[in-house]
Chains A and B, each alone.
Chain A
Amino acid sequence: MSAEVTADELLPPVLGAWEQKSQLLPLVFGKLQLDRKLTVLEVGSASSSTVEFFSRFNCRLHFADLFYSDILQNPTKFNSQAKLTAAFEKAFDFPLGTKLDLCLFWDLFNYLDAKQMAAFCTAIKPYLHSGTQGHGFGLRNNAASLSNYQYAIKSTDALVVSQRQTKQTTLYPLPQGRLKEQLSCFSIGRGLLLKDGRQEMLLSSPL
């Protein structure tokens, strides 16, 4: 089991949330083979909604709260690319042989600089397969602002959004062209501009 932080150090999620409909999430689930066991990564904190949603599937859910990890909260701690990659690997803490079917990244890529993005890709690549699907939010342009929200799944076409309790870390907003260059471990498929300046994105493994 993981021992990056103690349970006492973990912050509970904020209560009080609202629903956000998603037009692209149904496409993600349409591409998954739901008749076999799903392996899912969520890079945020575990929420009741996400656990309840996936409880209808035969699945293994990995929660790796990168938003609360030292990678984002204390980035100066990692003075080499190797240490950064190791920090991502430790945060993921996947058992040997894990292959991810679905990755729920939410806002993550807007908070990673180029070095963090490269380390992230190095760390996650061994756990992807040709059918790995992803879902996340980018930003329309590098001048866009981003609210400090956290996400959970409510249904195949809806998310639950709430204010994140941890402090918002430095934003590295990238237009889609730049994000495509930096995110070498995923191909960005269909995107949908949202009225708040975010861009909902479908991701798939380039393998």
Chain B
Amino acid sequence: MFDKRKDAKQGSLNSNESAVVRSEDSVAYNTSRNTAVIGSGIKINGDISGDEDLVVKGQVDGKITLNANKVEIDNSANVTADISAKEVEIIGNVKGDITGNEKVLIKKSGKVQGNIIAPRVILEDGAVFKGSIDMNPVAAVKEVPVAADTKKAHVQPVAKKESSLGLN
């Protein structure tokens, strides 16, 4: 989970303090697992990694790597980032390449421009997608080890590294 003081120092986090919360505080994301939420008023410019589920309601420019967890891009979100997660669900806008170790779901309001790699990809009616989809329904799900020092989701600032995303 985000350490707010640490985030303020490391990332370009334009936040009010209450915008980044645990799922236990949020009725909308009531899950048994820990879920970090990037609120709609938050803009993150940097890399995100860790071992909690993540809901993005705000703006992320960078890279999201949560290989053992679920990432949800909410309706209000605007994400320009490559995303790698166990499961990715997109309701909002994403510009970037997406890797889902188990599944990628683009909901009817989702808009994605990028390439997707996942054993299973679901595109709902009304969803907008431009790019390529690499699917293998029989691929074994690989357990991705999580490094000891990334036991909590954290933001790594890469404020001057937008060009490294390959999103020209």
B-binding residues in A (CB < 8 A): 1-8, 10-13, 15, 37, 45-48, 51-52, 54-63, 65
Contact = CB atoms under 8 A, between A and B. Distances in A.
B-side binding surface: helix, strand, loop or mixed?
strand
Contacts of A60: 132-135
17 contacts: A2-B130, A2-B131, A8-B111, A10-B111, A12-B128, A15-B126, A45-B128, A46-B130, A47-B123, A48-B122, A54-B135, A55-B120, A57-B137, A58-B139, A59-B135, A59-B136, A61-B132
A1 B167 CA distance: 7
Most buried by A among B124, B127, B130: B130
Given A2-B131, A60-B132, A63-B132, 14 more contacts: A1-B96, A1-B113, A1-B115, A3-B167, A10-B111, A10-B113, A10-B130, A51-B121, A52-B123, A55-B122, A55-B135, A58-B139, A63-B129, A63-B131
Interface in B139-168: 139, 166-168
Interface in B47-106: 93-97
Contacts, number: 97
Given A1-B97, A2-B113, A61 B137 contact: no
A41 to B, nearest CB: 9
Interface of B: 93-97, 111-115, 120-139, 166-168
Contacts of B136: 37, 58-59
A63 B132 CA distance: 6
B125 to A, nearest CB: 5
A27 to B, nearest CB: 24
Contacts of A55: 120-122, 135, 137
Contacts of B135: 54-55, 57-61
Contacts of B134: 59-61
Nearest to B133: A61
Contacts of A45: 128
Contacts of A54: 133, 135
A6 B121 contact: no
B129 A1 contact: no
B60 to A, nearest CB: 15
A51 B133 contact: yes
Contacts of A1: 96-97, 113-115, 131, 166-167
